[in-house]
């Protein structure tokens, strides 16, 4: 089974493209799609039977330019219901909107975004790899479309975006600056300290579903709970997937302490080493 919604991804360049650069660009696009879909369907309480299968496949390719049509494929017909749901909730459209948002942000077309929306180093490298074929070619564009196939197999274009070389260069420069910033801030101020997450919904008048970050306390650094930001998506998923009560354990972490007017305001978790239940 192949999704009715597809992505047409096109690198329109007038110079030969290095095969490694092209491969990395497609890998980056696929990795961002898998990450987006897993998060998107999780928010909608849609269970994915096999997360490794949430990936894009090349369903058609043309030779007049570097153009590929990509779709979500269930090669063994194991979970067609999920595929239908993904089409119905427009995951392709929402994913492309997400890609456009970050490309616009990195090229300076929109203002500052919250820390919770900032990308980690691996995600930034994906965007850099996605743009590399156009940037290195010196002239051209990156184009992507949302296609929708009807019952007769005819495709119509629902959304379409294009980023020319100058825009791709600006976005790449923005990505590079973000990576440099992350590399400067990943040296931890405090190593292997005990962080305890704090449930303070009543104090901040925001239910957990409305919060954009966690709150936690590190007694050896500051007596009050502070906002917690996880630099690593992998570490954040370990916390979310923890089997026990996250409020009744200690997280062994390396952290930066963000300050304002000399007072600690937030913890930036550089690395999660271990999770220790209170009984230990």
Q: What is the pLDDT of residues 28-63, one digit of tens each?
A: 998 898 888 777 767 766 666 555 556 677 766 665
Structural domain of 35: 2-185
Q: What is the pLDDT of residue 50?
A: 56
Does residue 11 sit in the same domain as residue 82? yes
Band of residue 173 on the pLDDT scale cut at 50, 70, 90: very high
CA dist 218 and 222 (Å) reads 6
pLDDT classification of 138: cutoffs 50, 70, 90? confident
Choose the final residue of a domain: 160, 185, 210: 185
115 shares its domain with 168: yes
Residues 168, 198 within the same domain = no
Identify whether the C-beta of residue 132 lies closer than 8 Å to the C-beta of residue 23.
no
- Mapping DSSP to helix (H, G, I), strand (E, B) and coil, where does residue 199 land? coil
Query: What is the separation of C-alpha 39 from the centre of its chain, rounded to a whole number of angstroms?
Result: 9
Query: What angle in degrees, to the nearest 10, is found between the helix axes of 91-106 and 121-137?
Result: 80
The reported pLDDT for the residue numbered 48 is: 60
3-state SS assignment for residue 161: strand
245 plus 130 within the same structural domain: no
Same-domain check for residues 111 and 174: yes
| Mean pLDDT of all residues belonging to the chain | 82
Q: Let me know whether 128 and 246 are in one domain.
A: no
Task: Give the pLDDT confidence score for residue 107 in this predicted structure.
Answer: 96
Q: Give strand pairing partners of 257.
A: 267
Please calculate the CA angle 148-141-125 and round it to the nearest 5 degrees: 90
* Domain boundary, last residue among 167, 185, 203: 185
CA 274-276-277 angle, 5° bins:
150
Residue where a domain terminates, one of 154, 185, 216: 185
Q: Do both 143 and 55 map to the same domain?
A: yes
Helix, strand, coil % in the chain, rounded to nearest 5: 40, 35, 25
Taking only the tens place, the pLDDT of each residue in 202-256 is 444 555 545 567 899 999 999 899 999 988 878 888 898 888 889 999 999 999 8
- Crossing angle, helix 165-185 and helix 91-106, to 10 degrees? 80
- Does 42 lie in the same domain as 152? yes
- Measured CA to CA, the distance from residue 143 to residue 133 in angstroms comes to 12
158 and 238 within one domain? no
Phi, psi of 277 (to 5 degrees): -60, 155
Categorize the per-residue pLDDT at 115 as very low, low, confident or very high, splitting at 50, 70 and 90.
confident
Alpha helix stretches (DSSP H) within 110-232: 121-137, 165-185, 201-204
In terms of pTM, does the model score above 0.75? no
Are both 131 and 206 inside the same structural domain?
A: no
Do 125 and 216 share a domain, yes or no? no
From the number of C-beta atoms within 10 Å of its C-beta (0-12, 13-18, 19+), residue 232 rates as middle
> What is the full DSSP assignment across 2-50?
EEEEEEEEEEEESS---HHHHHHHHHHHHHHHHHHHHHHHHHTT---S-
Domain count, the chain: 2
- Give the integer Cα–Cα distance in Å for 130 and 201: 40
Looking at the fold, whether 134 and 173 belong to one and the same domain comes out as yes
**Per-residue confidence (pLDDT) for residue 38, from 0 to 100:** 76
């Amino acid at each position: 089974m192949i999704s009715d919604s597809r992505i047409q991804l096109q690198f329109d360049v007038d110079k030969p493209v290095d095969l490694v650069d092209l491969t990395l660009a497609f890998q980056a696009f696929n990795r961002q799609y898998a990450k987006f879909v897993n998060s998107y369907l999780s928010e909608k309480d849609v269970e994915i039977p096999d997360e490794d299968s949430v990936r894009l496949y090349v369903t058609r390719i043309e030779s007049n330019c570097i153009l590929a049509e990509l779709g979500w494929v269930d090669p063994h017909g194991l979970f067609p219901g999920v595929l239908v749901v993904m089409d119905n909730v427009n995951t392709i459209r929402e994913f492309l909107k997400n890609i456009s948002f970050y490309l616009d942000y990195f090229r300076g077309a929109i203002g500052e975004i919250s820390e919770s929306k900032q990308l980690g180093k691996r995600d930034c490298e994906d965007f850099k790899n996605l743009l590399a074929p156009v940037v290195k070619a010196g002239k051209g564009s990156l184009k992507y479309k949302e296609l929708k196939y009807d019952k007769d197999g005819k495709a119509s274009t629902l959304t379409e975006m294009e980023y020319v070389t100058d825009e791709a260069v600006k976005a790449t420069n923005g990505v590079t600056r973000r990576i440099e910033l992350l590399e400067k801030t990943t040296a931890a101020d405090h190593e292997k300290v005990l962080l305890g997450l704090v449930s303070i919904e009543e104090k901040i008048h925001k239910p957990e579903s409305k919060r954009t970050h966690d709150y936690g306390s590190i007694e050896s650094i500051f007596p009050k709970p502070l906002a917690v930001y996880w630099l690593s998506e992998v570490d954040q998923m370990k916390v979310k997937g923890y089997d026990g009560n996250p409020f009744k354990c200690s997280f062994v972490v390396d952290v930066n302490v963000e300050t304002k007017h000399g007072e600690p305001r937030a913890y930036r978790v550089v690395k999660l080493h271990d999770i220790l239940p209170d009984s230990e």
